[in-house]
Structure formats: C-alpha cells, structure tokens
Amino acid sequence: MTTHIHTEADLDVGIAALIALDPRWSAIATRSGHPPLRRRDGGFAGLAQIIVSQQVSVASAAAIYGRLVAACKPFEAACLLRLRKDKLLRVGLSNAKVKTLKAIAKAIAAKEIDLNSLADIPADDAHARLTALHGIGPWTADVYLLACLGHADAWPAGDIALQEAARLAFNLKTRPTTKEMGPLADRWRPWRAVAARLLWTYYRAVKSREGVLITPVSKTIAPKKPVTRKKKPNGR
C-alpha cells in the first residue's frame, strides 16, 4: 500500500514508523527538531513551478513564474500548449525550459501521463514515469513526488544537502554518492520521504549550530615558523 504525507499528523506517524525501522532516527529527530511538511501544489502547475525555479535565484523564479501564470489563464497544460514559444521566452524562460514544459503539456493532453495519479503507485514506478518525460531529471521527479504529491517514499538521492546530512547524521567517512544513497535508504521504505525531511532539517540544525559544514581535512597543516628579523647595519 502506498503511503502519503499530507498533514502534520501523517508526518508524526511516519517519524514513529521510521524510528521503529531504524532506532538511530530517534537521536537524529531529537537534534533536528520537527521537520516541515514541504508541500506545494500538485499537477501541471506544481511540476512547472519546480522546473521554472531551477538554476535561478528564488526571487527570479518567483518573478518568472508569476509572469508565466499571468500569461496563461487558467494555468494548465492545454493553455500552455496554445502559447507561442516567443511569448514564453519573453516571460523569462530559457529555450530548454520552454521545450520541457511543452513536452509535459503534450504528454498530459495525449493522456500519456496523469501527474496526480502518480501519488498512488510505488515511488520507484512514479519516478520512472516522470523521468521518461523530456527534460525531467531524477531530482525534479523526486521533488515533485515528495513536495507536490506528498508521496511518503520519495527519495531525492541526488540532493547534495541530503547526502551531506546523511554523512554527518550517520558518521560516514565520506559523503555518499547518488548511487550509494539508494542502498543506504532501502531499510527505511516506505518512509524514505520522511527520512529526507528529517535529514534536511538536521542539515539546517547542524549548519546553524556550527556556522558551516566542514569536511575533515586529511592532511596536517604545519604551524607557521617564527619570523626572525635581520639586524640593520650599525645595530639598528
């Protein structure tokens, strides 16, 4: 059965289940505090917002998305398909993002994918369906499943902050790679999205307390040698 995180109560249930699966989470949850839900709108609008926000500042993403929504009312796949490329470029989208949004809209119109129904199938299957769409990478797919659909088992293995948080939380020698993050989280199924929320919150808690996340230095830095001043002529 696929589980979902829609409310604070759902999140509490997930945290308790995660601790039952792996008791190490108890100390992590104590250190991190209660994680936020991280929920966004689902459907085409939610996925589009994730795509628009990539590789630009938060302020720029908000401005571009606002202009995009204003240019396409109601903001849905059918409307975006009717907009000309030059108009989409004028709102601030890149060529690549226009191509991606058009491809998603076409897939929805052709009934090749139902974005909301992905919440009701296993996370790995939903991930595969999303990444089959043009321009949708693994990170985008996982964030959509976790934040927009509330899928309890989404696992953004490629997220750098998540990888670093895992290294710190579980005292790993090195930051796990995207490939290594998969096996690391297998025992936490079907609550990997809860694990991700806790690790992101843990990351912020540690960063705030320590100022910065510091990777251990493998070599020893030799102390500076004292500086010997040369005497000037005539003893001065």
What is residue 226's predicted lDDT score, i.e. its pLDDT? 43
Phi then psi dihedrals of residue 171, to 5 deg:
55, 45
Q: Are residues 16 and 49 in the same domain?
A: no
82 and 66 share one domain = yes
* Stretch (H or E) spanning 7: none
Whether 220 maps to a domain, the answer reads no
Residue 236 lies in a domain: no
pLDDT in tens, 155-198: 999 999 999 999 999 999 999 999 999 999 999 999 999 999 99
Q: Is residue 228 part of a domain?
A: no
Residue 140 lies in a domain: yes
Query: How much is the pLDDT for 66?
Result: 97
Answer yes or no: do 162 and 180 share one domain.
Answer: yes
Give per-residue burial for 2-39: e unless 16+ CB within 10 Å, then b: ebebeeeebbebbbebbbeeeeebeebbeebeebeebe
Q: With respect to residue 198, please indicate whether it lies within any of the assigned structural domains.
A: yes
Alpha-helix runs per DSSP H in the chain: 8-21, 24-32, 43-53, 58-71, 77-82, 85-90, 95-109, 123-131, 138-143, 160-169, 178-185, 192-210
Cis peptide bond upstream of 226, omega within 30: no
Taking the C-alpha atoms of residue 149 and residue 230, their distance in angstroms, rounded to an integer, is: 72
Predicted pLDDT of residue 234: 52
Q: What parts of the chain have a pLDDT lower than 70?
A: 1, 209-236
pLDDT value, residue 188: 97
Instruction: Report pLDDT for 39.
Output: 86
The answer as to whether 163 is a domain residue is yes
CATH assignment at residue 159:
1.10.1670.40
Give the C-alpha separation, 83 to 89, whole Å: 10
Give the residue carrying structure tokens 């995207």.
178
137 and 54 in one domain?
yes
CATH number, domain containing residue 54: 1.10.340.30
Same domain? 88 vs 121: yes
Q: pTM for the full model? A: 0.82
Final residue belonging to a domain, choices 103, 122, 148? 148
Q: Are residues 132 and 195 in the same domain?
A: no
196 located within any domain? yes
Quote the pLDDT of residue 1: 60
What domain range includes position 188? 8-37+153-208
Task: Compute the chain's Rg from CA coordinates.
Answer: 23
Note whether residue 235 is domain-resident. Answer: no
- pLDDT at position 211 is 31
Give the number of domains in the chain: 2
Is the same domain home to 52 and 98? Answer: yes
Q: Is the same domain home to 136 and 186? A: no
